[in-house]
Amino acid sequence: MFARSALVARGSATSQVGRIQLRFFSHLPMSIPIKLPNGLEYEQPTGLFINNRFVPSKQKKTFEVINPSTEEEICHVYEGREDDVADAVNAADVAFNNGSWSNIDPLQRGNALYKLAQLIEKDKDVIASIETLDNGKAISSAKGDVELVINYLKSAAGFADKIDGRMIDTGSTHFSYTKREPLGVCGQIIPWNFPLLMWAWKIAPALVTGNTVVLKTAESTPLSALYVSKYIPQAGIPPGVVNIVSGFGKIVGEAISTHPKVKKIAFTGSTATGKHIYQTAAASLKKATLELGGKSPNIVFADADVKHAVENIILGIYYNSGEVCCAGSRVYVEQSAYDELIKQFKVASEAVKVGDPFDENTFQGAQTSQNQLNKILSYVEIGKDEGATLITGGERIGDKGYFVKPTVFGDVKEDMRIVKEEIFGPVVTVTKFKSLDEVVEMANDSEYGLAAGIHTLNINTALKVADRLKAGTVWINTYNDFHHSVPFGGFNASGLGREMGAETLENYTQVKAVRAKLV
């Protein structure tokens, strides 16, 4: 099948050295049959999705996609380059300017999004399984992701005919009003930890407001976004409105960010990359929204239900294998409750089922890449070297697949790297505190500000602390508790703008003021 091949290092690695990613020049078909580990079979699209068709990349390059649970190749997909981005942007620009989407009755846009949600809903078992295969997350988590996708698309559809301006009373001599209009072509770059959910969080607000989209998938997890894109034309969304280009950040991401016809950039990923994209967008005055990293505090007061708090800490740090930007990776426990909580938390951490992500009883699947596994294990060594006490975990599980034990550090100091830096894995630090003022100060002592958790039976304490925490989302007696109507986003180095809720619509519209003199 392959005419010739090239080996290109990408930083993901074999167990000892570094995995070499195969990139080929090929004549790969536009879809290939795949049998999933749970017995389901489906056709996986491999092309770029441009103008409602799957097409090969201009240069016919492909790259391999790896199963993180087995370290085996799943398939190859076509790799986009700058010329493919240009094609996708041109298609999106034509679709925007011809009015086939931006000028139609808003209710039609809402109906199309709702139909897209229904098509996904009918196929949700296969879609969740693709997510688990490609990302390594537990199938239970993947099913939860797909439900969130469905609910969010339906919720966003309901905003279609509610995007309006206002009339302004400026006296009897003039008629003045505002209206909200779409921006045009929106460039979107999504991460590998929630591939399908981030696809939905990005395209839904862009589409419901009348924009068109060029989206880059994460190179390690392109499969689910490509698969569900086959439903775009079936939902009644015109050609060019949604375009998907698989590829690498330094090529495809950069080309999208710098293209003059792209009017807005939406990015989810690391803070370092987000800063670069923000600077790039600023050079051409593109609107930008960034959902970036986090090092979120999870606070437990002495009056909290310890068992319930431990359950929420587990969900906060081990859910999705800890690869969550808002993971509750810094736990603060009131001094009098510390010993009991550590005792229960250690037992609960060691009881977390880690392994085959297609096992319905698995809670923590594989890390998404060898790179990420190596990073997590390196931070375990950093924590030991810094003098923290390793309470449990800190080891790789097996020699095949990117699995790691849930890891808890105690006796930490606030200036330790494992407390300050985002690890993006199932590693948590636990610290004592004596007073409300002390824990608020420690919780806020971070460059980030994405999320926080508070556990207490005293609603007055909960609300006082929530008001003082510098975080975009505060969960009380729960954690990682998302709802499609509740906005999500960060303060400080955790980003700009919001996902979900009515607030996200502001990111994809601009205000036009009209003032007419009456004669």
Helical packing angle, 195-208 and 106-122, nearest 10°: 160
Helical packing angle, 139-157 and 195-208, nearest 10°: 0
Report yes or no: 215 and 190 within 8 Å, Cβ to Cβ.
yes
DSSP assignment letter at 141: H
CA-based nearest residue to 188, from 165, 204, 166, 208: 204
290-327: burial string, b at 16+ Cβ within 10 Å, e else: bbbbbbbbbbbbeebebeebbebbbbbbbbbbbbbbbb
CA-based nearest residue to 394, from 379, 415, 416: 379
Q: Determine the Cα–Cα distance for residues 490 and 487; give it in Å rounded to an integer.
A: 10
Name 237's bridge partners.
none
> How far from 53 is each of 24, 43, 237, 273, 376, CA to CA, in Å?
22, 15, 12, 30, 39
**What is the Cα 290 distance to its own chain's centre?**
11
CB atoms near residue 342 (< 10 Å): 19
Q: Is 291 a catalytic residue?
A: yes
> Counting Cβ atoms within 10 Å, is residue 171 exposed (0-12), middle (13-18) or buried (19+)?
exposed
CA-based nearest residue to 49, from 286, 231, 258: 231
CA-based nearest residue to 427, from 414, 443, 410: 410
Name 242's bridge partners.
213
- Please identify which of the residues 71, 291, 334, 499 carries the catalytic annotation: 291
CB atoms near residue 151 (< 10 Å): 17
Q: Determine the Cα–Cα distance for residues 87 and 89; give it in Å rounded to an integer.
A: 6
DSSP assignment letter at 499: B
Active site residues: 291
